[in-house]
Amino acid sequence: MATLEFGATSYQDPAEITKVLADEGIIYERWGTRPESCSDDSKVLEAYAPEVARLKEQGRYVHADLVALSPNTPGLDDICEKFVKEHHHDDDEVRFVVEGAGVFEVMSQKGDAMFKISTEPGDLVVIPAKRRHLFYLTEKKAIRCIRLFKDSKGWEAIYSRP
C-alpha cells in the first residue's frame, strides 16, 4: 500500500491519499493485488481488465502494456539514471504497480515543493502531462507495472522545463 509524504505529513490511508493527491491533480486509486496476476503479461492485463477499460475510457488512453525492471534488466542503471532526474512528459504517466515498488516525487501544482508517493503492488498513480516529477526504485530494484498511453509513440522524458 502506498505512502504519501506531503510536507511534514505522512499518509498511509488510501482514502486520505486519494483525496490529498486529487487536490494536487494526481489520480491515486487502490486496485489491490490479485494472486493470478503474477504469471505472464496477458494474464496480468486480463486480471485487471475492468479497471484498465474504465481508465482508458476516463482518460482516453488507447494503449496498455506491461513494463518490468529488475536487477537482471540489461542497462538497469542507465534506465534508472534517466528517470531519477526531474522531467515531464507530453502524455500522462499512468502506472499500476503489479509487483515490486517504486517512488515518485512530484512537483506541487504551485511549483514550490516536491511530494513523495511510495508505491507498492495494487497502487495506481496517474501523473498528468507536463507535471514535473522524478522516479526511482527502492533497494530491491524491481518493479512490474501496467502502463497506459494516449499515444504509444510519443512517450519520452523531457528534462528542460516547459
* CA atoms of 34 and 37, how far apart (whole Å): 5
Nearer to Fe ion, 53 or 79 (CB): 79
* CA atoms of 88 and 71, how far apart (whole Å): 25
Nearer to Fe ion, 79 or 113 (CB): 79
Nearer to Fe ion, 29 or 93 (CB): 93
Stretch that binds Fe ion, among 10-18, 37-45, 46-54, 92-100 (CB under 5 A): 92-100
93 part of the interface to Fe ion, by CB under 5 A:
yes
Stretch that binds Fe ion, among 18-26, 36-44, 85-93, 137-145 (CB under 5 A): 85-93
* Shortest distance, position 46 Cβ to Fe ion, whole Å: 26
In the complex, residue closest to Fe ion by CB: 93
* Shortest distance, position 103 Cβ to Fe ion, whole Å: 12
Stretch that binds Fe ion, among 64-72, 90-98, 116-124, 145-153 (CB under 5 A): 90-98
How many residues of this chain interact with Fe ion, rule: CB under 5 A? 1
Residues within window 5-64 making contact with Fe ion, judged by CB under 5 A: none
Residue with cell 507530453: 90
* CA atoms of 108 and 122, how far apart (whole Å): 24
Residues that bind Fe ion (CB under 5 A): 93
